[in-house]
Amino acid sequence: MLSYLVHRILIMIPTLIAISIVIFTIINLPQGNYFTTYVAELQASGEATDLAKIQFLEQEYGLDRPLWQQYLYWAFGLLHGDMGYSFAYNLPVNKVVGDRLFLTFLVSFATILFTYVASFPIGVYSATHQYSWADYGLTFLGFLGLATPSFLLALVLLYFANVYLGISIGGLMDPQYIDKPWSAPKALSVLAHLWIPVIVIGTAGTASMIRRLRANLLDELQRQYVVTARAKGLHPLKLLFKYPLRMALNPFISDIGSLLPHVISGAAIVSVVMSLPTTGPMLLDALRSQDMYLAGSFLMFMAFLTVIGVFVSDIALAILDPRIRLQAGRRR
């Protein structure tokens, strides 16, 4: 087990290096850099800017150097926990990201909770009542959630929430609470705003969750041990929760790997539409304006979390399910 852990940890290093090179290359693929993009935008809106100033800023931030030097500079900083400097915000990247992380966590956890709460009962019910009307009805509902474009649902809900409930459009709280210390009214305001993004982002994930749970459970329900247990007169509910359901949970644990980065990235498109103060819109903006250190460092952070997440889920699987052999995938 120990040598397996060490092996896994060591393999993370080349993985992360490869990811960082890919990220840096892709961000720098479009022509120009943050300053040229910014100036082009300013000029398009009539605000003239001194071209000499761009050269000056490029020198100041080292953007005139060859790419490999810029990469090394950035990677070296990352190793020291320095995520670089955001040109758009004129601040170090960690200060820009920091404020948004908490609210992103909040939205994502609430969404995951919502997805679980909505899809578990439905999934179990439709598996145990396969091909019944209720199964078809609930599955249909799930697919409807998957098929509805989430940004459209967001706009519709925003409109009705504003007209009938008087909730301010977009954002995660009423404007007067922004930047204020946390208090009871502020928390209530957040809760009042939270349900819309949670429903919108959640409905998309619910369908796939229902289908997976249903399929896994159906597989298990055919097994001989289930038949045996039934024959022996075990209570159907106790049987269900004690054996097949636990077996069906494996895929969810292996999902943790992709869950972690999802939690901090949020759903970018929906967040943009709803103007949520989360990290999704920030990343999108950074990529569009070629704010390369902000985009790069944030993506790197997400890559790091993915690698950790996969690692954790593998370990958890190995611990939870003794049938999984650690050596199976290794060649000697």
Partner 1 sequence: MSPANPTRREVIQGSVALGATLVLPNALSANLQETPAFNEDVARARLPKIEDRVPEEPAVADLQTIGRPGGELRMLMAGPKDTRMMVVYGYARLVAYTPELELVPDILKSIEIEGNRVYTLHLRKGHKWSDGHPFTSEDFRYWYEDVAHNKHLSPSGLPITMMPAGEGPRFEVLDDVTVRYSWKHANPLFLPSVAGPDPLFIYRPFHYLKQFHEKYADKAALETLVQQANQRNWVALHNRLDSMYRNDNPDLPSLQPWVLKTKPPSDRFIFERNPYYYRVDKQGQQLPYIDRVVLSIADSKIIPAKTGAGESDLQGRYLRFDNYTFLKASEQHNNFKVWLWRTGPGSQLALYPNLNVNDEVWQALMRDLRFRRALSLAVNRHEINQVIYFGLAIEGQNTVLPQSPLYRPEYRSAWASFDVPEANRLLDLIGLTKRDRDGIRLLPDERPMEIIVENSGESTEQSDVLELIRDAWRRIGIKLFAKPSQLTLFRRRVFSGETLMSIDKGVENGLATAAMSPWEFAPTTQQQLEWPKWGQYYETKGAAGEAPSLPSAIRLKELYEAWLAGGSQQDHAQTWKNILQVWADEVFSIGTVAGVLQPIVVNDRLRNVPEQGIYNWDPGAYFGIYKPDGFWFELSEAPAKSAAATTRSAAPL
Q: How far is the CB of 82 from partner 1 (least distance, A)?
A: 9
Q: Shortest Cβ distance from residue 1 to partner 1 (Å)?
A: 43
Determine contact, residues 134/239, Cβ cutoff 8 Å. Answer: no
DSSP, collapsed to helix, strand or coil, labels residue 265 as: helix
- The interface with partner 1 within residues 265-324 (CB under 8 A) comprises 272-275, 277, 281, 285
Can you tell me which of 10, 14, 29, 45 binds partner 1, judged by CB under 8 A? 45
Q: How many residues interact with partner 1 (rule CB under 8 A)? A: 45
Nearer to partner 1, 75 or 88 (CB): 88
Q: Which of residues 99-128 bind partner 1 (CB under 8 A)?
A: 99
By the rule CB under 8 A, 145 interacts with partner 1: no
Q: 85 in helix, strand or coil?
A: strand
Q: At closest approach, how far in Å is the CB of 157 from partner 1?
A: 12
Which residue, among 10, 107, 64, 97, has the nearest Cα to 300 in the 3D structure?
Answer: 97
Other CB atoms within 10 Å distance of the CB of residue 238: 10
Q: Which of 44, 184, 231, 237 binds partner 1 (CB under 8 A)?
A: 44
Which residue in the set 25, 56, 132, 188 belongs to the binding site for partner 1 (CB under 8 A)? 56
Q: How far does CA 223 lie from the centroid of its chain?
A: 35
Rounded CA separation 282/276 (Å): 10
**Pairwise CA distance, residues 263 & 241, whole Å:** 28
For partner 1, the closer of residues 127 and 158 by Cβ is 158
| DSSP string across 245-260 | HHHHTHHHHHTHHHHH
**Inter-residue contact 302 to 264 (CB < 8 Å):** yes
Q: How far is the CB of 175 from partner 1 (least distance, A)?
A: 5
Tell me the CB-side half-sphere exposure of residue 318, using CA atoms within 13 A: 15
Greatest Cα-to-Cα distance within the chain, rounded to the nearest angstrom:
85
Among residues 3, 43, 130, 183, the one that binds partner 1 under rule CB under 8 A: 43
Q: Which stretch binds partner 1 (CB under 8 A): 67-75, 84-92, 237-245, 307-315?
A: 84-92
Residues 111 and 286: beta-carbon distance below 8 Å: no
Residue 41 interacts with partner 1 (CB under 8 A): yes or no? yes
64 binds partner 1 (CB under 8 A): no
Which tokens in the block code for residue 325? 């052999």
Of the listed pieces 33-41, 115-123, 204-212, 321-329, which binds partner 1 according to CB under 8 A? Answer: 33-41
SS3 91: strand
Binding positions for partner 1, rule: CB under 8 A: 30-32, 36-37, 40-41, 43-48, 50, 52-53, 55-56, 60, 88-92, 95-96, 99, 155, 158-159, 162, 168-171, 175, 178-179, 272-275, 277, 281, 285
